[in-house]
Chains A and B, each alone.
Chain A
Amino acid sequence: MNGLKPELAVCCRGVVKEFGSGQALTRVLYGVDLDVRLGEKTFLVGQSGCGKTTLISIIAGLLTATEGSLTVLGEDLGKLRGGHLVDFRSRNLGFVFQQFNLLPSLNAAENAAVPLIGQGIAFSKAVKLATDMLEKLEMGTHARKYPRQLSGGQQQRVAIARALLHEPKIVICDEPTASLDAETGHSVMTMLSTMAAAKERAVIIVTHDTRIFSFADRIAYMADGKISQMESGQLLIKS
């Protein structure tokens, strides 16, 4: 486990990310230190352009850090390459995106089943499991509907089902309520909290939406490519 505390899902130390080269070199992250614990919902907040999306992309293994160390679930992500990294992501990570990113050619159940199908589970079995999951998310009656037939909130629930169906250890959510109205956003967050929150699972949520801060266990503030402040979500609400 590389000395990582068992309850830690993510451990970033001095993570730097630069894009481009020469005169076009742009540094986005300036040595980020961040711990994300299992069983907690960690919110990553900050102004646009502060590096939140870059950080979660690195945590998800979609981008590689220029400098620093990143340990995810005990694995040094910097050392994982190619197929191993993809396998790791496939097994351990679930994603909820701001724009839902559902495949328009698949119905709700099929969309939710994609990670399982990708892991080699038979199409029909995966769709059956996905339908069960959608029922838990109160979307059972919409399982056969296509994304264009669903509201934003419903689409986000399908995305949550897709993120959770293969029981990942870490769920990464990027602005999950940004495209939703307040009521729907609250409902989606309640659903996400209920379904995703588990002792052995970490949830990382990038958001601007202060209305949902009450769902956070911890909040990491980012500014200028660094974590500027770390707070308990409950303390924030009380203050």
Chain B
Amino acid sequence: MYRIALKMLFFDQAKFFGLVLGVAFSILLINQQMGIFLGLLSRAGAIIDDTPEANIWVMDPGVKNLDTVFPLRDIELGRVRGVSGVQWAVPYFKSMATVRTATGELESALLIGADDSSLIGIPLEFVLGSPEDLRRPDAVAVGKDGFGKVWLGEEISLGKTVELNDRRAYVAAVVQDSPKFTSSITFYTRYTQALAYTNNGRNQLSFLLVRSEPELDPKEVAKKIEEQTGLMALTSAEFRQKAVQYIIDNTGIPVSFGTVIALGIVVGVCVVGLMFNLFVLENLRHFAVLKAIGIKNSRLILMVGLQAMVVGFIGYGVGLGVAASFFEFAGRDPNFAGFYLPWKVAVASAGVAAAIITFASIVALRRVLFIEPAIVFRG
């Protein structure tokens, strides 16, 4: 009977494709929007991800996110280094800068100043050049995606010069960094060099990067730093979560994406529910014939269930495939860099597909189960 169920399903091709597209559209929206949403959130903690050497970030107690910082006094570095359990602590500068692109246009760029001696704070993966190249005068490293923004259409290369806050900077390295939330162009240089680009003097410490002693719990060390310095010290994971939470609490992004995702589910439920209902309605007489011939309700339930499952399975596959293709191809564009399709979202959307087809089949099954087989004798 299952073969008959499938033949019934595939026979009306327009309705079958409509059903599949209904599920696929819903799954595509859920996965694509969730992927972009999570990608955006992950950008909130991008510089933390790019600095895996440090496991504690120290900052002014009033800091809520990575983009609003209040400079620390230079002496805080020594105080933090003096806390027991701190293996090392280095300064970290972060500011926005104005860069003039190759076409003469101005762009906003993120400027990171890493510890002069250790260069901790600069992404570990160098696409071109090496950390030693950054020790030269006016040397900066630029993120790979940012390079494409400043020098549109050009192959990445070294030796280019650029105006950074109206001062000359020399591209000595290109690094692979994580896409940021506020700017797609990031320049990395030494701490002292970064201060020079911003024309600021002392007390420009944005953060202190700290590594706790290996045998100690970073949370305990962070607590000690707070107690002894009065500054805020967070583990990398805590700081990342704080930055993400700030975006969730203070922007309309979750509501905006949530609305689209909810619409995707609603449209999926409505379209698939209605079309499946219509499909069953058009086949109602045939189901009644099967009932009259002697097919039990339990078999009819399995038949309708199989039809719904096939629609759900194919629709889910198509929707997920298109969403995955989107991230595969769109991910090549620097604007979409870092966006991906998390497997947990794909699994969760399978649950949504299952819910959609379960709803649709339950609605449709009511008709099948309650159809009077005696209607087969009516003209």
Determine the distance from Cα of A57 to Cα of B291 in the docked complex, in whole angstroms. 13
Q: Is there contact, CB below 8 Å, between B10 and A57?
A: no
* Proximity string of chain B (274-299) to chain A, C-beta cutoff 8 Å, 1 when within and 0 when not: 00000000000110011111111101
Contact of A117 with B by CB under 8 A: yes
Question: What would 14 more interface pairs be, CB under 8 Å, given A60-B292, A101-B286, A175-B379?
Answer: A57-B377, A83-B296, A86-B294, A86-B295, A86-B296, A87-B294, A89-B292, A91-B294, A97-B377, A98-B379, A104-B11, A106-B7, A117-B1, A123-B3
> Which of B52-60, B231-239, B321-329, B368-376 lies on the face that meets chain A?
B368-376
Residues of chain A within 8 A of B1, CB atoms compared: 117-118
Determine the distance from Cα of A57 to Cα of B373 in the docked complex, in whole angstroms. 9
Chain B residue nearest to A53 (CB atoms) is B377
Interface size on A, residues (CB 8 A): 32
Q: Is there contact, CB below 8 Å, between B296 and A105?
A: no
Q: Is there contact, CB below 8 Å, between B290 and A114?
A: yes
Q: Shortest beta-carbon distance, A43 to chain B, in Å?
A: 16
Residues of chain B within 8 A of A162, CB atoms compared: 293
Chain B residue nearest to A119 (CB atoms) is B294
The 8 closest A-B pairs by CB, nearest first: A90-B294, A105-B11, A62-B374, A57-B374, A105-B7, A89-B294, A101-B289, A118-B295
Q: Shortest beta-carbon distance, A183 to chain B, in Å?
A: 22
Residues of chain B within 8 A of A97, CB atoms compared: 289, 376-377
Contact of A93 with B by CB under 8 A: yes
Residues of chain A within 8 A of B376, CB atoms compared: 62, 95, 97, 101
Q: Is there contact, CB below 8 Å, between B294 and A118?
A: yes
* Proximity string of chain A (73-102) to chain B, C-beta cutoff 8 Å, 1 when within and 0 when not: 000000000010011011101010111010
- A selection of 13 A-B contacts at a CB cut-off of 8 Å is A53-B378, A57-B374, A60-B292, A62-B292, A87-B296, A89-B293, A97-B376, A98-B377, A98-B379, A104-B11, A106-B4, A114-B4, A118-B295
- Within residues 325 to 379 of chain B, which ones have a CB less than 8 A from any CB in chain A? 372-374, 376-379
Q: Is there contact, CB below 8 Å, between B10 and A95?
A: no
Q: Shortest beta-carbon distance, A179 to chain B, in Å?
A: 9
- Within residues 10 to 28 of chain B, which ones have a CB less than 8 A from any CB in chain A? 10-12
